[in-house]
A and B are shown apart, each in its own frame.
Chain A
């Protein structure tokens, strides 16, 4: 009799026979796959301590483990975003600095014309006005120096137009101090002619556009006669210096006049042209 008396639903011989012949196991590949999955599942978790309650028993292990791993997961995208932001700021700060450096270089290195203060000019102005440039030319043609300055300024890239104008004007002023009247006239004409920002403002505001046009016409009316007087006075001074035998100073004045007017030699009196041909820069 093999039945256990206190456990009639068990049979010792069947138990033994079952134990002996029930030996099937999962394949090694299946074992490896499951164990690998189990290890992968906890690989990201730190080997933290088991939290305990007041009685020293382990409680609620899963939540602290998740909390401990959370910082390692969120700092990476934050760091990537910070890096991208820093690069973007660096690029934005680099690009505008390169453009203003290029534009004033052409403007500032050009030699500034030597202009004559009004007090000196009046001494050389003849009693009878010398034949001046045609009035129409003086009215319509902008001053060449200012025109070139304006052309240069307009040609250069202008990320910050107002600042750039100020820088160029400051540079010109620093290199060649001028008479206050000339500076005023130049500033007025610069403001009136060369400031696209102000022109845009004037176009955008009808009330201000009339004032801008008025200022522009006043500046051109003032600068054109001044230009004619300057040239004539300079020519007169050159002739006087030449006649006095101060050929060096006369040559300097002639070079300065050439810098302003390319055809300065043609405007000289015929008796000075031969001498002017010998003056080289």
Chain B
């Protein structure tokens, strides 16, 4: 559930005021993202440290899963945070900070794809069954049949990531925004510019396909996935 923008703004402002009035710079760990961003805009660099630590993993994986290359992900990741740093004075807490941050990341991703002649988010409702199947089947059989349980778990994780890579961009985007960004359906809909039902549909398709692929790759675990 997303708080209305006005209530977000008021609660964040009150939080910043209290924090500053108390002169407590060590209490950033308990502050909200929005309060941290306002504190950073006011000149408290340590607030950014806390904010960065909270969101660096999610943003990085969101970019990495979309572009598939660690080098490109590094470049885009740095650009996103530099954009956040530059935009600190314009930041107003009308919505959750994570929504604002992932919007920056998504815009940077779209710019990257456009620069490379790609348009990943155009066919947003393509379910992409063929691509998913081809990629999952390309995984090495020997690794899939690794007997060790720990290795099997790791293998399952790799299969999941490989299956995610084959999802249509819009479904993958919704999945990553939900799992890495922790955004709600409404926030994902606001960020991607579609309705909540569309977001639900994309997520439902994405999860179903991931399960299907994992079951097909691990027939012995079929009962566990049902």
Report which A residues bind B (CB closer than 8 A). Answer: 1-2, 8-11, 13-15, 17-27, 30-31, 33-35, 37-39, 41-43, 45-50, 52, 56-59, 61-62, 65-66
Contacts and interface: CB of A to CB of B under 8 A. Distances in A.
B156 A38 contact: no
Contacts of B161: 21-22
A19 B90 CA distance: 33
Contact of B226 (A1, A37, A38): A1
Contacts of B156: 17, 21
A31 B157 CA distance: 25
Given A9-B204, A31-B56, A50-B20, A14 B90 contact: no
Contacts of A56: 14, 17
Given A26-B77, A39-B45, A43-B45, A18 B160 contact: yes
19 contacts: A9-B204, A11-B210, A11-B211, A14-B211, A14-B214, A20-B153, A20-B157, A21-B157, A24-B60, A34-B52, A34-B82, A34-B85, A35-B49, A37-B85, A57-B17, A61-B41, A61-B42, A62-B41, A62-B88
A25 B13 contact: no
Contacts of B153: 20
A23 B64 CA distance: 11
B78 interface: yes
> A11, A26, A34, A37: which has the most chain B beta carbons within 10 Å?
A26
B75 to A, nearest CB: 10
A27 B180 CA distance: 18
A21 B10 CA distance: 38
A57 B10 CA distance: 7
A10 B207 contact: yes
A30 B17 contact: no
A37 B52 CA distance: 12
B111 to A, nearest CB: 19
A276 B38 CA distance: 106
A30 B85 contact: no
A14 B209 CA distance: 11
A2 B207 CA distance: 12
Top 7 A-B residue pairs of the complex, sorted by shortest distance between their CB atoms: A21-B157, A9-B203, A62-B89, A45-B43, A57-B13, A58-B13, A39-B45
Interface in B175-226: 178-180, 185, 200, 203-204, 206-207, 210-211, 214, 224-226
B42 A48 contact: yes
Interface string B140-170: 0000000000000110111011000000000
Q: How large is the interface on B (under 10, 10 to 19, 20 to 34, 35 or more residues)?
A: 35 or more
A132 B62 CA distance: 120
Interface string B6-48: 0000100110110010000000000000000010111111001
A57 B38 contact: no
Contacts of A27: 74
B131 interface: no
Contacts of A48: 42-43
B57 interface: yes
> B10, B20, B57: which has the most chain A beta carbons within 10 Å?
B20
Contacts of A33: 78
A34 B78 contact: yes
B105 to A, nearest CB: 13
> A24, A25, A50: which has the most chain B beta carbons within 10 Å?
A50
B198 to A, nearest CB: 11
Given A41-B85, A57-B14, A26 B45 contact: no
Interface string B94-120: 000000000000000000000000000
